[in-house]
């Protein structure tokens, strides 16, 4: 069989030109809704959907309504990369982050530097992250909050500390402290937190050094990246019937064979097809749960401020909500959550999810 002839430069050029025209045509005329890239639609939303809090779909394929923002600054936290506008989450997620910030400070961690949570209405992001789509994922830096307040400009530019050697995939011992271990242990101690993703080197460090109670190591899961931050994921919350739960982590500490795999060549082989588009880049509205269209179209609150949790209480009331839309104040935003829940109450016990069978190919 003859080897197919590579397209000539001219053919390539014509193809590119045709694609270029297609893109221009797409800008001029709105393509059918189902073909719109979900990341463009969700990435353009500046404010949440002002309805009862609800996560819809899966962590890597969904959206959420009734989101609230964590304030840019709290007594024991600062939001990093504020221009990204990814400080939004399900009210339960924001409550857990604020609780961790307080508890960690009591444990001796000066404060949290908070990375990406979600876009205001979740959905796939323009850049980064496959997950973080339903308001139940948050990235927290492994760098403690500096003693001097960071300016907005510093939060955009300050670089994170890489905790793991890129060649050996082991934690840099000069950087790792018992306070890092305490922070992860505290986060894992919350019943709502189902898993925490860290670099395999960090998991190994914990496996090698944690004495006594090791039950919490079950929630600490090795994954690529996550060498300057950890990723905290909470379970589906009450009031979200369309939220698809993730399978439970195995009951053991995860320090055995599954961890050893990360220290073989296999996970680190170069990607055979590095230019292949990622799922989040291709997702259209048709790929997301159908309710995500309603989330996209729902009215928003008057301002970001109107949907922000504040020190000492629940989110402030939304000013002038659309008459037909359920409003976002504490009562409805936290529908299905214990009524006492607010950012500074103790994080309620919502219950440990039942173990689910492992899906194939996990």
Residues contributing to the site for Zn ion (CB under 5 A): 139, 231
95 or 196: whose CB is closer to Zn ion?
Answer: 196
Distance CA 158, CA 121 (A): 27
Q: Return the half-sphere exposure (C-beta side, CA atoms, 13 A cut-off) of residue 71.
A: 17
78 or 327: whose CB is closer to Zn ion?
Answer: 78
Look at residues 218, 182, 187 and name the one whose alpha carbon lies nearest to residue 203. Answer: 218
Look at residues 194, 6, 197 and name the one whose alpha carbon lies nearest to residue 96. Answer: 194
- Spell out the residues 6+ positions from residue 41 whose beta carbon is closer than 8 angstroms to its own: 123, 285, 296
Name the residue whose CB lies closest to Zn ion. Answer: 231
Look at residues 68, 60, 85, 80 and name the one whose alpha carbon lies nearest to residue 233. Answer: 60
180 or 231: whose CB is closer to Zn ion?
Answer: 231
What is the closest distance, in whole angstroms, from the C-beta atom of residue 141 to Zn ion in the complex?
A: 11
What is the closest distance, in whole angstroms, from the C-beta atom of residue 26 to Zn ion in the complex?
A: 30
Q: Which residue do the tokens 């220290």 mark?
A: 263
What is the gyration radius of the CA atoms in the chain, in angstroms? 22
What is the closest distance, in whole angstroms, from the C-beta atom of residue 113 to Zn ion in the complex?
A: 14
Distance CA 251, CA 253 (A): 7
223 or 344: whose CB is closer to Zn ion?
Answer: 223
What is the closest distance, in whole angstroms, from the C-beta atom of residue 300 to Zn ion in the complex?
A: 25
**Dihedral angle over CA of 46, 47, 49, 53, nearest 10:** 120
What is the closest distance, in whole angstroms, from the C-beta atom of residue 139 to Zn ion in the complex?
A: 4
What is the closest distance, in whole angstroms, from the C-beta atom of residue 88 to Zn ion in the complex?
A: 14
98 or 139: whose CB is closer to Zn ion?
Answer: 139
What is the closest distance, in whole angstroms, from the C-beta atom of residue 89 to Zn ion in the complex?
A: 12
Report the sign of the C-alpha dihedral through residues 196, 199, 200, 206, in that order: negative
53 or 117: whose CB is closer to Zn ion?
Answer: 117
216 or 228: whose CB is closer to Zn ion?
Answer: 228
Question: What is the number of residues in the chain?
Answer: 362
Distances (CA, A) of 81 to 43, 90, 95, 111, 141: 15, 20, 20, 16, 12
320-359 burial string, b = 16+ CB within 10 Å, else e? ebeeebbbbbbebbbbbbeeebbbbeebeebeeeeeeeee
What is the closest distance, in whole angstroms, from the C-beta atom of residue 59 to Zn ion in the complex?
A: 10
58 or 315: whose CB is closer to Zn ion?
Answer: 58
């Amino acid at each position: 069989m003859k080897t197919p002839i590579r397209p000539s430069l001219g053919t390539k050029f014509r193809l590119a030109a045709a694609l270029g025209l297609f893109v221009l045509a797409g800008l001029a005329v709105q393509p059918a809704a189902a073909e719109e890239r979900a990341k463009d639609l969700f990435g353009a939303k500046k404010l949440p959907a002002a309805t009862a809090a609800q996560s819809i779909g899966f962590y890597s394929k969904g959206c959420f309504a009734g989101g609230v923002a964590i304030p840019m600054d709290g007594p024991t936290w600062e939001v990093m990369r504020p221009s990204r506008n990814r400080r939004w989450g399900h009210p339960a997620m924001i409550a857990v982050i604020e609780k961790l910030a307080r508890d960690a400070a009591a444990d001796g961690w000066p404060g949290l530097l908070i990375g990406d949570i979600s876009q205001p209405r979740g959905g796939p992001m323009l850049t980064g992250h496959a997950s973080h789509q339903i308001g139940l994922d948050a990235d927290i830096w492994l760098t403690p909050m500096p003693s001097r307040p960071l300016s907005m400009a510093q939060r955009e530019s300050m670089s994170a500390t890489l905790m793991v050697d890129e060649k050996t995939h082991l934690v840099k011992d000069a950087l790792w402290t018992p306070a890092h271990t305490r922070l992860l242990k505290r986060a894992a101690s919350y019943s709502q937190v189902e898993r925490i993703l860290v670099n395999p080197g960090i998991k190994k460090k914990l496996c090698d050094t944690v004495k006594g109670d090791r039950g919490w190591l079950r929630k600490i899961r090795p994954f690529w990246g996550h060498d300057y931050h950890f990723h905290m994921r909470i379970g589906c919350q009450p009031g979200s019937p369309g939220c698809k739960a993730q399978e439970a982590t195995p009951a053991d500490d995860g320090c055995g064979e599954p961890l050893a795999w990360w220290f073989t060549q296999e996970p680190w082989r170069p990607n055979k097809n590095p230019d292949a588009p990622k799922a989040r880049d291709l997702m259209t509205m048709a790929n997301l749960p159908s309710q995500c269209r309603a989330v996209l179209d729902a009215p928003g609150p008057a301002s970001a401020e109107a949907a922000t949790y504040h020190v000492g209480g629940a989110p402030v009331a939304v000013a002038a909500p659309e008459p037909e839309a359920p409003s976002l104040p504490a009562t409805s935003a936290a529908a299905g959550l214990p009524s006492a829940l607010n950012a500074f109450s103790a994080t309620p016990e919502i219950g440990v999810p039942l173990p689910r069978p492992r899906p194939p190919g996990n």
